[in-house]
Amino acid sequence: MNDRDKSGAPKREAVLARLLGPVGPELGCEECFAELDRYVELNLAGSDPDGHVPGMRAHLEGCPACAEDFRSLKALLESELERVERE
């Protein structure tokens, strides 16, 4: 997340987003973890993950730790896909 300007100060929008969190309903961390594998596979398949798992995107916007877990699982599956396609 590029949330700092050239001087290193955090950007206004980033500070507000982190302080105030997402708008609307969101999952909790336990629900997020339970749905993470399905959500990532749907995301990679382009199969409307947010329609299938409502509240997930909002939680990922609000929870830095769960957002990192999402990015990690997505990156791992992408790296496996690249490996399979190379072979």
Residues that bind other proteins in the complex, under the rule CB under 8 A: 1, 3-5, 7, 9-23, 26, 28-30, 33-34, 36-38, 40-41, 43-46, 57, 60-65, 67-77, 79-81, 83-84
The least CB distance from residue 48 to other proteins, in Å, is: 14
Closest of 12, 19, 10, 31 to residue 61, by C-alpha? 19
> Each residue of 27-53: b (16+ CB within 10 Å) or e?
beeeebeebbeebbebbeeeeebeeeb
Find the shortest distance in angstroms from Cβ 25 to other proteins.
11
At closest approach, how far in Å is the CB of 7 from other proteins?
7
